[in-house]
Structure 1
Amino acid sequence: MWLRIPMLGNIRQENFVRRMVVGAVLASLLVGFLVALVLVQGFRQREEQAVVTVENLSWVIEQSLGGAITLIDHALLSASDEASRQMQDGGGLDPVSFNAFLARQNARLPNADGLRATNAEGATLYGEGVLPGANAVGRDYFIKLRDDPNAGLAMSKPLIGRISKKWAVIFARRMNKPDGSFAGVVFSPINLESFTKIFSQIKVGQQGAVSLFDSEAALVVRYPEQNGFGSAIGKKVNSNLLQELIKTGKSKNAERAISQVDGVDRIYSSRKITGYELYISVGLSIEESLEGWKTNAITLIVIWLLFTLVFFSLTIQTARGWRQRVATLKTLEEKAELEAKVADRTRDLEELNRKLSALSATDGLTGIANRRRFDETFAQEWNRAARSGQTLALILFDVDLFKNYNDHYGHLKGDDCLRKVAQLLHGHARRSGDLVARYGGEEFAFMAPGMDDEAIFALAETIRKALEGLEIPHAMSPLSRVTISAGVAVRVPGFGDPPESLVMLADQALYRAKREGRNRTILAEDVVAAE
């Protein structure tokens, strides 16, 4: 039986129903196409957001880990130089003096498990916690440094520490006699769990992973490990992205791959730790990255299916065209709402990235610039001074007997002391180019472009006396109050001169200030204006 609709005129009711069905099908396909476009766009946005996030995370970890290793390397270099200095008159090492030097260096290494040294035969004779009969002659790092005078910093394969009984890697440098021959190695074991503590501070999700590899693509440490700490250490990974990074040393854009360790599909960003044969890889789970998108996709598909069923039902039952228009407008409104939500989420992620960038350049304890920001700014000012021919001045401050202060008053008081010192230094950075940064532990750096040696020395003395004037109690100090020592260096950089040369001058002056009784300022004696 035909349904009579007067508005159709002479058009047969059968044609009307057929046209309405065709119109309903076309409308349903159109809406489905729009839903597909929205889903594809949302999927791409989620992938792009995951790529930006994982690249930012890998950069932050690379900077943090690289800074920790550099701190250890500086301590090893200082110990090697001290050994050469003690042997320069043809004599051997003074055990008492050298052990005291190693202890001072070790106190500045929060991630190190001791600082020790061997003789040329590999016997471990110097440092704290040396086991009787301990010998490193068969260790890979010892062999490398013994046989290659230019080996630089050597790192062992992961091993179980003889003293700590925990997984560790050993960083070592060669010690030379006055004639350049091999005198032994100075080394520092680093507990691999200290690396996982750094990794655990980065939020990569429950299925994310942070891995550290050596130059042979062997896993040094991974966070998290499904089968317990150490279960995956030493496993080699056959990854094209990692192999190319090891070969070229250049980071590529993030790529998607299935993990050979746990089979999880992730987006990976890998980077070489600058200056060292170590490679960091950060992976975010595809499933977790797309979790919100999947929920939106299911919601949209369900809405589209319901729309189609309802629209077809109403079309067959009533053949009223206005219902198609209402349903289409409703779907477009839902699309606009979804796009607004996606835009809001994008803005939230951009704001989060800006905050993450700011936090990565600020020391969390003192609120002043951290080591990474200092290194970047210092390198820029060094190059600028080299171009302009101006001086660049640097002060390295070190809180005197801070370990004793911490041991006596506790870490909370120690942290408060460091904050007061940082505030004092920051208050004297009055020029636009001045920068105060926490250099590491209880050490601070004050960079002052354009200052000569007299002005920077006077500034260092002013700060030192100002801290004395605060009269912060220090029961373990001979002066009964907190004091600082300062090493001052000034240079006019020459093109090609490394920025580290000025740091070394200031560091040497600081060590001299420590040796001469602390609570004093020493100007580096070998300041040379580069031409």
Structure 2
Amino acid sequence: MKRDIHLVILLLTIIGISLASLTIWRVEASRDRALQEADTHGLNLAQALTTYSEGIVRQSSLLLLGLVERLETEGSEPLQIQRLAALIDRQQPLMPQLSGITIYDRQGHWLLSSNRPIPSGANSSDRAYFIHHRDNPSRETFIGSPIRSRSNQEWVITISRRFNDSHGAFAGVVAVTLGVENFLKLFGKIDLGRDGAIGLSASDGALLVRYPFREEDMGRNFSQSPLYMQYLVDQSVGTASFTSSLDGVDRLYAFRKSDEQPLITTVALGKQEALAGWRMESTLSFVVVGSLMAITATICWLLIQHINRRIKIEAELRITQQQLMASNRQLELLAMKDALTGLANRRCFDETLSMEARRAQRDGFSLALLMIDIDHFKLFNDSLGHIAGDDCLRTVSRVLEECVRRPPDLVARYGGEEIAIIMPNTDYPGAMVIAELILDRLLQENIPHPKCPLGRVTVSIGIAIAERESLSESHQLVEVADAALYTAKAGGRNQYR
């Protein structure tokens, strides 16, 4: 019946582990799919925004290139500046993202401003983009960090080029300003959730635009951020997941470097929001599986209770039988033990010797038999009395048991003061080691024997070894060991033969 309970418990355990494992696997797989879908969505948005940003910068660069060619060909005299202003007025509506176009001479003085009258004494020689072109002969377009426009105080991004005079020397700068607000309006139309964010940065890590807008972020450089250092250095496109250094929100990032412009577009989705649907699905799965497991456990519990009642009834019926069997086993043990010494008795000896002889013959092992007799034991009894003789027998028996440690070995009282030791799978050297150990231990025990020449109790030992081919009848081994014992006694006792 207990086996039935174990099977029920095993069945319940297997069902529970299977359901739990399957549910956890499905939940983890669902989570991976949700994160993968969020990454794909972010990469698609990053691609679209990169294309948009590239288009604006490309248009601005083409406009700058045309203006620089005219300035370098026709000069920057007031009349030419007026013609350029008219040209800009016609082109500017084609680029609504433009905040304005400004031309500066080599000292940084304003020559033209498309969106407002030139303030008296206006000079921008301290601007980073002007200093870059003045000190750098490169004719490439330069994308500057966000700055506040001195004309209307709005945040703008500058895209600029230098122009040279007829001798190739620096003659001034043409700058296009793009309003950050225009980018934010577009970014704000994209639903990224409560914790989503969009970023546009220069390739050197300078932040150009970030949505949601925070003024304290303008001008920050992210070249030391985890996203930049771990991913953007070696990859042009990819995804990542970590906590934002700006606001501490855990986000899923998708980034893409522009192939044409020194721009990096980053789209970030709040990780908790991206996993909201997955959490609801997972909760529902766990509730369903938990309910199934609870129902299964209840059924199993009722079944176990029924089995336990049957076990209790059968246990009560077996109590008497078990008590009787225990009594019988106790009687069997007593029948195999010597009452005085606690060693195995003669009956146990005979059965064990016969069994070990058959086993040794079958398996091809040797079998050793030691017959041990206490020297001058009758004189010991006559001089010290039978009570002392019994104590002596018990002490010698204890010493012999301590010398024989292997489980298959048997120490038995053969009769009177004679004790036998059966040692399966033991050859002559092994038996001799035990015999010497017995003699040495009795010497250490130093049991007084006033009638013994040595003044202490000693034993004589006869050793018989039977190999497979010499094993026929077990009583022959006893006879050989007895003969060896007689030889040891005749040789002066306290020895083995």
Q: Which category describes the TM-score, using the shorter chain as reference length? A: 0.5 to 0.7
**Runs of 4+ residues deviating >6 angstroms:** none
- Which of 79, 87, 92 is the aligned partner of 1:106? 92
- Which of 242, 247, 251 is the aligned partner of 1:262? 247
**Cα–Cα, structure 1 residues 172 and 135, in superposed 2: closer, same or farther, change >3 Å?**
same
1:172 to partner: Cα distance: 1.1
Judge conservation of contact 1:102–1:116 (CA < 8 Å) in 2.
Answer: no
State the secondary structure of the residue aligned to 2:254: strand
Judge conservation of contact 1:169–1:192 (CA < 8 Å) in 2.
Answer: yes
**Cα–Cα, structure 1 residues 245 and 311, in superposed 2: closer, same or farther, change >3 Å?**
closer
Q: Which amino acid aligns with 1:270?
A: F
State the secondary structure of the residue aligned to 1:157: coil
Q: Which amino acid aligns with 1:239?
A: S
| Partners of 2:71 and 2:146 in 1: CA distance | 27
Work out whether 1:211 is the aligned partner of 2:199.
Answer: yes
Q: Which amino acid aligns with 2:103?
A: A
Alignment-derived partner of residue 319 in structure 2: none
The residue correspondences of 1:51-450 to structure 2 (distance < 5 A) are: 51-87=39-75, 94-128=80-114, 129=116, 130-225=118-213, 229-237=214-222, 238-243=224-229, 247-248=233-234, 250-318=235-303
| Partners of 1:205 and 1:214 in 2: CA distance | 25
Q: Which amino acid aligns with 1:38?
A: R
1:38 to partner: Cα distance: 0.8
State the secondary structure of the residue aligned to 1:77: helix
Deviates more, 1:34-43 or 1:148-157: 148-157
The residue correspondences of 1:453-492 to structure 2 (distance < 5 A) are: none
Judge conservation of contact 2:238–2:256 (CA < 8 Å) in 1.
Answer: no
| Partners of 2:268 and 2:166 in 1: CA distance | 48
Unaligned segments of structure 1, at least 5 residues: 1-11, 322-531
- The RMSD of aligned alpha carbons is 2.3
State the secondary structure of the residue aligned to 1:205: coil
Deviates more, 1:275-284 or 1:185-194: 275-284
Deviations 1:220-278 (A, max 9, x none): 221114xxx42321233333432366645x41421111111111112212222333222
| Partners of 1:47 and 1:267 in 2: CA distance | 8
Judge conservation of contact 2:43–2:254 (CA < 8 Å) in 1.
Answer: yes
1:288 to partner: Cα distance: 1.4
- Which of 29, 36, 45 is the aligned partner of 1:41? 29
Alignment-derived partner of residue 353 in structure 2: none
Deviations 1:389-443 (A, max 9, x none): xxxxxxxxxxxxxxxxxxxxxxxxxxxxxxxxxxxxxxxxxxxxxxxxxxxxxxx
- Which of 7, 16, 21 is the aligned partner of 2:4? 16
Judge conservation of contact 1:256–1:267 (CA < 8 Å) in 2.
Answer: yes
What's the TM-score once normalised by structure 1's chain length? Answer: 0.54
State the secondary structure of the residue aligned to 1:253: strand
Judge conservation of contact 2:149–2:156 (CA < 8 Å) in 1.
Answer: yes
**Cα–Cα, structure 1 residues 275 and 243, in superposed 2: closer, same or farther, change >3 Å?**
farther
The residue correspondences of 1:494-505 to structure 2 (distance < 5 A) are: none
1:33 to partner: Cα distance: 0.9
